[in-house]
Amino acid sequence: MLNVIIFGPPGSGKGTQSEKIVEKYGLIHLSTGEILRNEIKEKTTIGCKVKEYIDDGMLVPDEIVLKTLYFKAIEYADSAGFVFDGFPRTIVQAETLDKMLEKRDIPVDVVISIEVAEDELFKRMMGRAEDSGRSDDNEEIIKKRIEVYKSQTLPLLDYYNKQEKLISINGMEPVNRVFENISRAIDFYQNKKEILP
Ligand code: AP5
């Protein structure tokens, strides 16, 4: 089992890189943003509850995210592992994920932090806005999402650094180059797991 967290600010390339990891390592992609957007599209009870938060660029409350993710994860309990994309985003989410995985003795193996300069994030998301159809891809909300990331999610880097699972990757390079570096990091942590008792 291999559990990878892809961490980074909005527009850093988490979704792009997650798809490549899933293809190479045969893992299940769990993107909380994607899952929540589907709930909105399907007009479910959860979708109605989260729409306002997403449209406003705010984080969806922990209890809703955790419950939604849990039900998705148990659908794939027998998989080779997960790529968590955009999750966890708060300390409560990270601690709950650790407890959930510890129970099954399948901890998080590596946390990949994709580093991208703020003006580039903005440029990428504004570029994508033209055809993404995402209600949160507009100038005002993009700025807010970046602020929310800095104030509520960035502190998680310290949480995973203390666990010695964090690796930073330069996300300013071309997609394939970023992926080569991510693959190297995953292989390193995978080998370490096989060597250590
Ligand atoms: P979410 O869907 O997770 O969005 P996000 O974090 O804002 O990230 P994005 O999807 O915008 O960007 P990305 O990093 O995936 O980059 P991408 O690969 O698309 O969350 C949306 C909302 O849902 C949140 O605001 C919140 O409300 C809610 N939510 C989700 N999870 C939650 C949680 N755990 N707790 C609470 N609330 C939650 O790339 C971006 C663009 O850049 C693309 O056009 C791509 O082609 C391009 N690109 C990618 N890599 C490169 C590269 N190397 N060079 C040039 N261009 C590149």
pLDDT in tens, 168-178: 999 999 999 99
Q: What CATH number is attached to the domain comprising 13?
A: 3.40.50.300
Structural domain harbouring 52: 2-191
Gap from CA of 195 to ligand 1 centroid (Å): 34
The 3-state DSSP class for residue 24 equals: helix
| pLDDT averaged over every residue in the chain | 95
Mutate to test the pocket of ligand 1, among 124, 142, 148, 153 (most ligand atoms within 8 A of CB): 124
Task: Identify whether 104 is a catalytic site residue.
Answer: no
- For position 184, what pLDDT does the model report? 97
pLDDT tens for residues 81-127? Answer: 999 999 999 999 999 999 999 888 889 999 999 999 999 999 999 99
Whether cis (ω within 30° of 0) applies to the bond prior to 107 is no
User: Do the domain assignments include residue 92?
Assistant: yes
User: Do the domain assignments include residue 132?
Assistant: yes
Gap from CA of 194 to ligand 1 centroid (Å): 32
**Residue among 49, 51, 72, 128 flagged as catalytic:** 128
Angle between helices 14-25 and 175-195 (to 10 degrees): 50
Gap from CA of 8 to ligand 1 centroid (Å): 8
- C-alpha 37/C-alpha 28 separation (Å) is 18
pLDDT band, very low/low/confident/very high, at 130 (cuts 50, 70, 90):
confident
Is the predicted pLDDT of residue 25 greater than 90, yes or no? yes
User: Do the domain assignments include residue 196?
Assistant: no
User: Do the domain assignments include residue 105?
Assistant: yes
User: Do the domain assignments include residue 60?
Assistant: yes
Residues whose CB is less than 8 angstroms from the CB of residue 166 and which lie 6 or more positions away in sequence, other chains included: 111, 113, 157, 160
User: Do the domain assignments include residue 197?
Assistant: no
How many domains does the chain fold into?
A: 1
Within a 10 A sphere around the Cβ of 88, how many other Cβ atoms? 26
User: Do the domain assignments include residue 144?
Assistant: yes
Atom 50, ligand 1: residue with shortest CA distance: 13
User: Do the domain assignments include residue 161?
Assistant: yes
Q: Where are the beta strands (DSSP E) in the chain?
A: 2-7, 28-31, 81-85, 110-115, 166-170
Nearest-atom index, ligand 1, CA of 6: 14
Residue recorded with tokens 């310290």: 158
| pTM value > 0.85 | yes
